Each structure stands twice: as structure tokens, then as C-alpha cells.
Amino acid sequence: MTRILAVANQKGGVAKTTTVASLGAALADLDASVLVVDLDPQGCLTFSLGHNPDELEASVHDVLLGDEEIADVLLDTGDKVTLLPATIDLAGAEALLLMRPGREYALKRALAEVAEDFDVILIDCPPSLGVLTLNGLTAADQVIVPLQCETLAHRGVGQLMRTVTEVQQITNPGLQLLGAVATLFDARTTHSRDVLSDVADRYGLPVLDPPIPRTVRFAEASASGTSVMQGRKNKGATAYRELAENLWKHWEAGEQVRTSDLS
């Protein structure tokens, strides 16, 4: 059975891409076969997994528009993870898809063709709530929301919750909101914890365990285009490994996903 997990938050810089890359690598280390999908025209996930978006001939853009078979566009990465890459072409996909019937289902239809080759498919949504994110949420079984633990973390969360509800009502009744992932977490202060419990309470969002601490290693990793999980000893990598185990137990053993007690 294939699990499809969307990582969504229309706010930029909350570690969506880092979460997809790190969870993908950690799940692959647990022997899952993993596909990661870059749905952001910026192509940051594609770049961080070792492929230059400017040099690719075909991408998820062509797949969504029906011009390429998904199987022909998939790329290997250094991480035992398969990538459906994005290029800047995807910036035009919003407008092109808008004119098509069933536009929210384009990714779902494409993934169905390769899903049986993978245990887990992770979708890196763009920083907007447009057609691309709707495609991600429509294709997914579950969604997680990275939340940066800063004062304005709650801004936009209500709008995202409404979008999830609308997708559940219209294009994907089976979509499950699994919870938030606390990112860029600073365990030394109570501030991160207070912000997080406030947002979690306000929106009834469980916070998945563990929080992901802020570490310098992550900033360095994405700058150099290498995986954040290489140099495996840092706190951030360890936290993503624990989160991957948490999710994997939930999927494989049917356990409840473990959540953090913030009180």
C-alpha cells in the first residue's frame, strides 16, 4: 500500500522543502521506497537533491499538462530517493491548468501510474494556495503542516485549514489532516513552545513528535545542494529520523501517530 503525504503551508521559509528532503532520506534509510514530488516552481527540492532545474528537459510541469509520461520524467538522486522534479516552467502551469476540466486531479492521475512502485510519496507544496497546492492536497492521503515557532506562525493557518476542509468536501473526501510539525524549534526558550501550543489550541492541530530543532547544518546543506541528512549526527537530522520512525510505525503497524504534549 502506498502512502501519499503532502507537506503544505502557503507561508514560505517554514521548512516544507527541508522536511520533504529529510523525511524522504530518513524513510529510505528505513528501507521504504520513496518518491518525492517537487511542486514548487522555484525547484528548491530538485536543486537540493542534486539536479539543476535549469538543465532539465522535462519536469512535473509536462506531466501535469499531459505532455510527458510520469515514468519518463522521474530522476534518481544520491539518496535512494526518486524525484519528480520541478522547473520554472511550473510557474505557468497554474494558468494553463485553470482552463482544463478536472485541473485539481492532474497530479493524482499521474501518481496513480507509478504509485505501486513506492511505499511512500512525499509532496512538497509551493508557498501558495493555488492550483498546484490543490493538486497536492487532492493527490494525498494525509497532509502535515510545518509551522515555524515564531510569533506570527499562526498567520495564514486558518486559511490553510479552510482550504483543507474545502478539499475534503470537494476533491478528496479521504484527506486526513495528520498534524503540524514544529520546525526551527528552539528548545532553550519557552517562546517556541508557547507559540506552538497557542497555534495548536487555536486550530485543534495535533503537533507531531518530535519538534525539529534549528541547526546551522540545515542552512549549510541547502546552500550546497547536498542532502541535509548527510553528516548524520546533527540534532536536526536525528529529529527527522525520529519523525520518520513515528510516521512509519503509524503507517506500517497502524499505530496512532505520536504527538507532543505541550502543556
Interaction of residue 11 with Mg ion, rule CB under 5 A: no
Residue 15's binding partner among Mg ion, ligand ADP, none (Cβ under 5 to 8 angstroms by kind) is: ligand ADP
How many of the other CB atoms lie within 10 Å of CB of 117?
Answer: 13
Residue given cell 510527458 in the structure block:
68
**Cα pseudo-dihedral 152, 45, 226, 210, rounded to 10:** 50
Query: Minimum Å distance from CB 2 to ligand ADP?
Result: 23
Residue given cell 534518481 in the structure block:
76
**Considering only residues 17-36, where is the footprint of Mg ion by CB under 5 A?**
17
Question: Which residue number, 114 or 164, has a Cβ lying nearer to ligand ADP?
Answer: 164
Residue 14's binding partner among ligand ADP, Mg ion, none (Cβ under 5 to 8 angstroms by kind) is: ligand ADP
Query: Minimum Å distance from CB 86 to Mg ion?
Result: 10
Tell me, residue by residue from 32 to 71, as one string, x for binding to Mg ion by CB under 5 A and - for no binding. Answer: ------------x---------------------------
Residue 179's binding partner among Mg ion, ligand ADP, none (Cβ under 5 to 8 angstroms by kind) is: none
Residue 163's binding partner among Mg ion, ligand ADP, none (Cβ under 5 to 8 angstroms by kind) is: none
The DSSP annotation for 196-263 comes to HHHHHHHHT--BBSSP-B--HHHHHHHHHTS-TTSSTTSHHHHHHHHHHHHHHHHHHS-PPPPB----
| Residues 205, 209, 215, 217, CA torsion sign | negative
Query: Minimum Å distance from CB 7 to ligand ADP?
Result: 8
Residue given cell 528505513 in the structure block:
30
Q: In angstroms, rounded to a whole number, what is the distance separating the alpha carbons of residues 148 and 180?
A: 10
Question: Which residue number, 17 or 234, has a Cβ lying nearer to Mg ion?
Answer: 17
Query: Minimum Å distance from CB 14 to ligand ADP?
Result: 4
Q: Closest Cα to residue 251, out of 68, 150, 97, 118?
A: 118
Q: Which of 16, 103, 193, 241 binds Mg ion (CB under 5 A)?
A: 16
Query: Minimum Å distance from CB 184 to Mg ion?
Result: 14
Query: Minimum Å distance from CB 24 to ligand ADP?
Result: 12
C-alpha cell at position 102: 478536472
Residues lying near ligand ADP in the complex (CB under 6 A) are found at: 12-18, 44, 127, 183-184, 212, 214-215, 218-219, 222, 236
Question: Which residue number, 45 or 63, has a Cβ lying nearer to ligand ADP?
Answer: 45
φ, ψ of residue 251 in degrees (nearest 5):
-75, -45
Q: Is 185 helix (H, G, I), strand (E, B) or coil?
A: strand
Give residues in contact with Mg ion (CB under 5 A): 16-17, 44
